[in-house]
Copies of this chain bind each other. A is one copy, B any other.
Amino acid sequence: MSTIKDVARAARVSIATVSRVVNNDAKVSDKTRASVLKVMADIGYTPNANARALVTQKSSTIGVVIPDLTDPFFASLANGVDQVARQHHMQLLLSTGQISAESELQAINVLIERRCDVMVVHSKKIKAEVLLKLAEKIPGLVLIDRYIAAIAHRCVWLDNEEGGRIAARHLMSLSHQHIAYISSKYEIDDPLTRLKGFTEQLPQQHLTSSPDLIAYEEPNLRGGEIAAQKLLAKGLPFTAIFVYNDAMAIGAISTLEDNGFKVPSDISIIGFDDVLFSRYSRPKLTTLRYPIEQMAKKAALLALQLSKGEVSDEEHKYIPNLVKRESTAIAATTK
Protein backbone atom coordinates (compact mmCIF):
# COMPACT_ATOMS: atom_id res chain seq x y z
CA MET A 1 0.00 0.00 0.00
CA SER A 2 1.39 3.37 -0.97
CA THR A 3 2.54 5.88 1.60
CA ILE A 4 2.92 9.58 1.91
CA LYS A 5 6.52 9.22 0.76
CA ASP A 6 5.47 7.68 -2.51
CA VAL A 7 3.17 10.58 -3.12
CA ALA A 8 5.87 13.08 -2.18
CA ARG A 9 8.35 11.49 -4.51
CA ALA A 10 5.96 11.30 -7.44
CA ALA A 11 4.79 14.86 -6.93
CA ARG A 12 8.36 16.13 -6.33
CA VAL A 13 7.50 17.78 -3.04
CA SER A 14 8.29 17.01 0.58
CA ILE A 15 6.11 14.77 2.69
CA ALA A 16 5.23 17.81 4.79
CA THR A 17 3.57 19.36 1.81
CA VAL A 18 1.64 16.22 1.04
CA SER A 19 0.54 16.04 4.62
CA ARG A 20 -0.66 19.60 4.34
CA VAL A 21 -2.83 18.92 1.35
CA VAL A 22 -4.20 15.77 2.94
CA ASN A 23 -5.20 17.78 5.98
CA ASN A 24 -6.44 20.69 3.95
CA ASP A 25 -3.92 23.02 5.47
CA ALA A 26 -4.11 26.53 4.05
CA LYS A 27 -0.38 26.98 3.60
CA VAL A 28 0.01 25.39 0.21
CA SER A 29 -0.26 26.97 -3.22
CA ASP A 30 -3.14 26.07 -5.47
CA LYS A 31 -0.75 24.77 -8.07
CA THR A 32 1.06 22.28 -5.89
CA ARG A 33 -2.16 21.27 -4.17
CA ALA A 34 -3.65 20.37 -7.51
CA SER A 35 -0.64 18.37 -8.61
CA VAL A 36 -0.42 16.52 -5.30
CA LEU A 37 -4.11 15.73 -5.45
CA LYS A 38 -3.64 14.34 -8.91
CA VAL A 39 -0.75 12.11 -7.86
CA MET A 40 -2.75 10.85 -4.89
CA ALA A 41 -5.62 9.88 -7.13
CA ASP A 42 -3.29 8.29 -9.67
CA ILE A 43 -1.48 6.01 -7.30
CA GLY A 44 -4.51 5.46 -5.09
CA TYR A 45 -3.09 6.79 -1.88
CA THR A 46 -5.01 6.36 1.35
CA PRO A 47 -3.61 7.89 4.53
CA ASN A 48 -2.77 5.46 7.30
CA ALA A 49 -5.09 6.13 10.20
CA ASN A 50 -2.90 4.22 12.63
CA ALA A 51 0.13 6.37 11.96
CA ARG A 52 -2.03 9.41 12.19
CA ALA A 53 -3.57 8.33 15.47
CA LEU A 54 -0.14 7.63 16.84
CA VAL A 55 1.26 11.04 16.21
CA THR A 56 -1.83 13.11 16.87
CA GLN A 57 -2.86 11.09 19.90
CA LYS A 58 -6.45 11.03 18.72
CA SER A 59 -8.26 8.01 17.41
CA SER A 60 -11.30 9.64 15.79
CA THR A 61 -13.15 6.62 17.00
CA ILE A 62 -16.08 6.23 19.34
CA GLY A 63 -16.09 2.97 21.22
CA VAL A 64 -19.18 1.11 22.33
CA VAL A 65 -19.32 -1.76 24.74
CA ILE A 66 -22.46 -3.89 24.58
CA PRO A 67 -23.19 -7.52 25.24
CA ASP A 68 -24.60 -8.48 21.91
CA LEU A 69 -25.79 -7.04 18.64
CA THR A 70 -28.62 -9.44 18.04
CA ASP A 71 -30.73 -7.95 20.75
CA PRO A 72 -32.61 -5.09 19.13
CA PHE A 73 -32.29 -3.10 22.31
CA PHE A 74 -28.52 -3.07 22.05
CA ALA A 75 -28.62 -2.66 18.31
CA SER A 76 -30.59 0.53 18.89
CA LEU A 77 -28.06 1.63 21.44
CA ALA A 78 -25.19 1.07 19.03
CA ASN A 79 -27.16 2.76 16.32
CA GLY A 80 -27.66 5.88 18.41
CA VAL A 81 -23.95 6.13 19.08
CA ASP A 82 -23.21 5.49 15.44
CA GLN A 83 -25.37 8.39 14.39
CA VAL A 84 -23.45 10.76 16.61
CA ALA A 85 -20.19 9.28 15.38
CA ARG A 86 -21.12 9.90 11.78
CA GLN A 87 -22.11 13.46 12.53
CA HIS A 88 -18.66 14.03 13.95
CA HIS A 89 -16.81 12.13 11.25
CA MET A 90 -15.77 9.45 13.62
CA GLN A 91 -15.92 5.71 13.42
CA LEU A 92 -17.71 3.15 15.55
CA LEU A 93 -15.53 0.61 17.23
CA LEU A 94 -17.66 -2.12 18.66
CA SER A 95 -16.56 -4.21 21.55
CA THR A 96 -18.90 -6.95 22.59
CA GLY A 97 -18.66 -8.86 25.82
CA GLN A 98 -21.17 -11.08 27.46
CA ILE A 99 -22.51 -9.96 30.76
CA SER A 100 -19.69 -10.87 33.11
CA ALA A 101 -17.25 -8.62 34.88
CA GLU A 102 -14.27 -10.19 33.20
CA SER A 103 -15.71 -10.03 29.74
CA GLU A 104 -16.92 -6.48 30.11
CA LEU A 105 -13.57 -5.41 31.43
CA GLN A 106 -11.80 -6.97 28.52
CA ALA A 107 -14.10 -5.25 26.09
CA ILE A 108 -13.24 -1.89 27.63
CA ASN A 109 -9.60 -2.75 27.56
CA VAL A 110 -9.69 -3.34 23.85
CA LEU A 111 -10.97 0.18 23.43
CA ILE A 112 -8.24 1.57 25.62
CA GLU A 113 -5.62 -0.25 23.60
CA ARG A 114 -7.01 1.46 20.55
CA ARG A 115 -6.67 4.72 22.44
CA CYS A 116 -10.33 5.35 22.01
CA ASP A 117 -10.86 8.56 23.91
CA VAL A 118 -14.62 8.58 23.62
CA MET A 119 -16.60 5.62 24.81
CA VAL A 120 -20.11 4.60 25.72
CA VAL A 121 -20.10 1.65 28.03
CA HIS A 122 -22.92 -0.67 28.91
CA SER A 123 -21.67 -2.57 31.89
CA LYS A 124 -23.79 -4.41 34.39
CA LYS A 125 -21.27 -6.52 36.18
CA ILE A 126 -18.09 -4.53 36.73
CA LYS A 127 -17.95 -3.31 40.30
CA ALA A 128 -18.61 0.36 40.87
CA GLU A 129 -15.17 0.99 42.34
CA VAL A 130 -13.45 -0.51 39.31
CA LEU A 131 -15.59 1.55 37.00
CA LEU A 132 -14.71 4.61 39.03
CA LYS A 133 -10.99 4.01 38.49
CA LEU A 134 -11.56 3.52 34.81
CA ALA A 135 -13.62 6.67 34.58
CA GLU A 136 -10.83 8.58 36.23
CA LYS A 137 -8.35 7.26 33.74
CA ILE A 138 -10.52 7.95 30.70
CA PRO A 139 -12.22 11.32 30.78
CA GLY A 140 -14.41 10.49 27.77
CA LEU A 141 -16.00 7.42 29.29
CA VAL A 142 -19.75 7.48 29.83
CA LEU A 143 -21.89 4.81 31.41
CA ILE A 144 -25.20 3.99 29.88
CA ASP A 145 -27.98 2.14 31.63
CA ARG A 146 -26.24 2.32 34.96
CA TYR A 147 -26.06 4.78 37.80
CA ILE A 148 -23.10 5.34 40.07
CA ALA A 149 -23.56 8.25 42.42
CA ALA A 150 -19.91 9.32 42.48
CA ILE A 151 -19.97 9.96 38.75
CA ALA A 152 -23.64 10.73 38.37
CA HIS A 153 -22.99 13.31 35.68
CA ARG A 154 -21.37 10.63 33.55
CA CYS A 155 -24.25 8.19 33.76
CA VAL A 156 -27.15 8.12 31.34
CA TRP A 157 -29.79 5.93 32.90
CA LEU A 158 -33.43 5.05 33.17
CA ASP A 159 -35.45 4.98 36.35
CA ASN A 160 -36.43 1.34 36.40
CA GLU A 161 -38.10 1.58 39.75
CA GLU A 162 -40.46 4.23 38.50
CA GLY A 163 -41.11 1.98 35.51
CA GLY A 164 -42.22 -0.76 37.87
CA ARG A 165 -44.49 1.64 39.67
CA ILE A 166 -46.07 2.85 36.46
CA ALA A 167 -46.73 -0.71 35.34
CA ALA A 168 -48.32 -1.57 38.67
CA ARG A 169 -50.51 1.48 38.61
CA HIS A 170 -51.66 0.77 35.08
CA LEU A 171 -52.56 -2.82 35.81
CA MET A 172 -54.28 -1.91 39.06
CA SER A 173 -56.28 0.76 37.32
CA LEU A 174 -57.63 -2.07 35.19
CA SER A 175 -58.72 -3.88 38.36
CA HIS A 176 -56.20 -6.67 38.17
CA GLN A 177 -55.78 -8.40 41.51
CA HIS A 178 -53.41 -11.21 40.74
CA ILE A 179 -50.42 -10.10 38.77
CA ALA A 180 -47.51 -12.29 37.80
CA TYR A 181 -44.01 -11.09 36.96
CA ILE A 182 -41.76 -12.57 34.29
CA SER A 183 -38.19 -11.68 35.01
CA SER A 184 -34.76 -12.05 33.51
CA LYS A 185 -32.77 -14.83 35.09
CA TYR A 186 -29.61 -12.75 35.04
CA GLU A 187 -28.45 -11.29 38.26
CA ILE A 188 -28.41 -7.70 37.29
CA ASP A 189 -30.15 -4.73 38.81
CA ASP A 190 -32.80 -4.01 36.23
CA PRO A 191 -35.25 -6.84 36.76
CA LEU A 192 -34.89 -6.46 40.51
CA THR A 193 -35.36 -2.73 40.49
CA ARG A 194 -38.40 -3.00 38.26
CA LEU A 195 -39.86 -5.61 40.54
CA LYS A 196 -39.13 -3.44 43.56
CA GLY A 197 -40.99 -0.46 42.14
CA PHE A 198 -43.78 -2.74 41.06
CA THR A 199 -44.12 -4.49 44.39
CA GLU A 200 -44.03 -1.39 46.52
CA GLN A 201 -46.92 0.05 44.60
CA LEU A 202 -49.25 -2.90 45.19
CA PRO A 203 -50.31 -2.18 48.79
CA GLN A 204 -51.86 1.03 47.56
CA GLN A 205 -54.71 -1.14 46.29
CA HIS A 206 -54.35 -3.54 49.18
CA LEU A 207 -52.68 -6.11 46.98
CA THR A 208 -49.67 -8.12 47.93
CA SER A 209 -47.01 -9.69 45.83
CA SER A 210 -46.43 -13.38 45.75
CA PRO A 211 -43.03 -14.90 45.00
CA ASP A 212 -44.89 -17.86 43.49
CA LEU A 213 -46.02 -15.71 40.64
CA ILE A 214 -42.55 -14.91 39.43
CA ALA A 215 -40.71 -16.81 36.71
CA TYR A 216 -37.09 -16.24 35.75
CA GLU A 217 -35.76 -16.97 32.27
CA GLU A 218 -33.45 -15.76 29.51
CA PRO A 219 -34.53 -12.26 28.52
CA ASN A 220 -35.47 -13.12 24.97
CA LEU A 221 -38.41 -14.49 22.97
CA ARG A 222 -37.71 -18.08 23.83
CA GLY A 223 -37.26 -17.21 27.49
CA GLY A 224 -40.65 -15.53 27.49
CA GLU A 225 -42.27 -18.66 26.09
CA ILE A 226 -40.74 -20.84 28.74
CA ALA A 227 -41.51 -18.46 31.56
CA ALA A 228 -45.16 -18.35 30.57
CA GLN A 229 -45.25 -22.14 30.50
CA LYS A 230 -43.84 -22.26 34.00
CA LEU A 231 -46.37 -19.76 35.25
CA LEU A 232 -49.20 -21.72 33.70
CA ALA A 233 -47.86 -24.96 35.14
CA LYS A 234 -48.18 -23.63 38.66
CA GLY A 235 -51.92 -23.52 38.30
CA LEU A 236 -52.26 -20.33 40.31
CA PRO A 237 -54.79 -17.74 39.24
CA PHE A 238 -53.59 -14.50 37.62
CA THR A 239 -55.08 -12.12 35.14
CA ALA A 240 -52.07 -10.05 34.18
CA ILE A 241 -48.33 -10.33 33.73
CA PHE A 242 -45.75 -7.61 34.03
CA VAL A 243 -42.92 -8.79 31.78
CA TYR A 244 -39.29 -7.79 32.02
CA ASN A 245 -38.96 -6.87 28.37
CA ASP A 246 -40.87 -6.85 25.12
CA ALA A 247 -39.10 -9.83 23.65
CA MET A 248 -40.13 -11.96 26.60
CA ALA A 249 -43.60 -10.44 26.49
CA ILE A 250 -44.08 -11.49 22.91
CA GLY A 251 -42.75 -14.94 23.67
CA ALA A 252 -45.17 -15.16 26.58
CA ILE A 253 -48.11 -14.12 24.42
CA SER A 254 -47.14 -16.82 21.99
CA THR A 255 -47.31 -19.48 24.69
CA LEU A 256 -50.49 -18.10 26.18
CA GLU A 257 -52.37 -18.09 22.92
CA ASP A 258 -51.09 -21.52 22.02
CA ASN A 259 -52.64 -22.65 25.29
CA GLY A 260 -55.98 -21.14 24.54
CA PHE A 261 -55.71 -17.95 26.56
CA LYS A 262 -56.69 -14.75 24.85
CA VAL A 263 -54.60 -11.65 25.35
CA PRO A 264 -55.82 -9.30 26.68
CA SER A 265 -59.33 -10.62 27.39
CA ASP A 266 -58.12 -13.52 29.53
CA ILE A 267 -54.73 -12.24 30.49
CA SER A 268 -53.23 -8.78 30.18
CA ILE A 269 -49.58 -8.35 29.29
CA ILE A 270 -47.40 -5.32 29.77
CA GLY A 271 -43.85 -5.30 28.48
CA PHE A 272 -40.86 -3.04 28.85
CA ASP A 273 -38.62 -1.25 26.33
CA ASP A 274 -40.94 -0.58 23.41
CA VAL A 275 -38.65 -2.04 20.82
CA LEU A 276 -39.56 -1.44 17.22
CA PHE A 277 -41.66 -4.50 16.58
CA SER A 278 -43.73 -4.23 19.75
CA ARG A 279 -46.28 -2.14 17.98
CA TYR A 280 -46.59 -4.76 15.30
CA SER A 281 -47.21 -7.73 17.51
CA ARG A 282 -50.68 -9.18 17.70
CA PRO A 283 -52.16 -7.90 19.89
CA LYS A 284 -50.11 -4.72 19.80
CA LEU A 285 -48.08 -4.63 22.94
CA THR A 286 -48.74 -2.30 25.82
CA THR A 287 -45.33 -1.46 27.19
CA LEU A 288 -43.06 1.07 28.86
CA ARG A 289 -41.05 3.06 26.46
CA TYR A 290 -37.31 2.97 27.08
CA PRO A 291 -35.88 5.66 24.78
CA ILE A 292 -32.60 3.86 24.37
CA GLU A 293 -31.58 5.33 21.06
CA GLN A 294 -32.15 8.83 22.29
CA MET A 295 -30.26 7.99 25.47
CA ALA A 296 -27.41 6.53 23.46
CA LYS A 297 -27.14 9.69 21.42
CA LYS A 298 -27.09 11.71 24.59
CA ALA A 299 -24.41 9.47 26.02
CA ALA A 300 -22.25 9.75 22.92
CA LEU A 301 -22.57 13.50 22.86
CA LEU A 302 -21.74 13.66 26.54
CA ALA A 303 -18.71 11.44 26.08
CA LEU A 304 -17.55 13.65 23.27
CA GLN A 305 -17.82 16.74 25.45
CA LEU A 306 -16.10 15.12 28.38
CA SER A 307 -13.23 13.97 26.20
CA LYS A 308 -12.66 17.59 25.29
CA GLY A 309 -12.55 18.57 28.90
CA GLU A 310 -15.96 20.18 28.99
CA VAL A 311 -17.86 19.35 32.12
CA SER A 312 -21.28 19.87 33.56
CA ASP A 313 -22.84 18.35 36.62
CA GLU A 314 -26.20 17.82 35.06
CA GLU A 315 -27.89 14.49 35.69
CA HIS A 316 -29.14 12.33 32.85
CA LYS A 317 -32.04 10.40 34.25
CA TYR A 318 -34.81 9.22 31.96
CA ILE A 319 -38.29 8.10 32.94
CA PRO A 320 -40.09 5.39 30.96
CA ASN A 321 -43.40 6.28 29.35
CA LEU A 322 -46.46 4.14 29.43
CA VAL A 323 -47.47 3.21 25.90
CA LYS A 324 -51.00 1.88 25.98
CA ARG A 325 -51.76 -0.45 23.13
CA GLU A 326 -53.83 -3.59 22.97
CA SER A 327 -52.32 -6.19 25.25
CA THR A 328 -53.83 -4.88 28.46
CA ALA A 329 -57.51 -4.66 29.35
CA ILE A 330 -59.90 -4.72 32.29
CA ALA A 331 -59.32 -7.79 34.42
CA ALA A 332 -61.27 -10.84 33.28
CA THR A 333 -63.14 -11.57 36.49
CA THR A 334 -64.60 -8.12 36.87
CA LYS A 335 -65.88 -7.99 33.33
Contacts and interface: CB of A to CB of B under 8 A. Distances in A.
A142 to B, nearest CB: 19
A24 B140 CA distance: 31
Given A50-B59, A82-B96, A282-B257, A277 B221 contact: yes
A109 interface: yes
Interface stretch (A4-12, A110-118, A156-164): A110-118
Given A48-B115, A54-B48, A113-B46, A69 B59 contact: no
Contacts of A48: 54, 113, 115
Nearest to A92: B94
Given A50-B54, A51-B54, A53-B50, A93 B91 contact: yes
A221 B280 contact: yes
Chain A interface SS verdict (over half): helix
Interface residues of A, number: 48
Contacts of A282: 253-254, 257, 281-283
A237 interface: no
A86 interface: yes
A78 B69 contact: yes
A70 interface: yes
A47 B75 CA distance: 29
Contact of A114 (B49, B115, B277): B49
A236 interface: no
A26 interface: no
Contact of A96 (B92, B114, B253): B92
Contacts of A112: 46
7 contacts: A46-B109, A92-B95, A93-B93, A221-B276, A251-B280, A277-B277, A282-B282
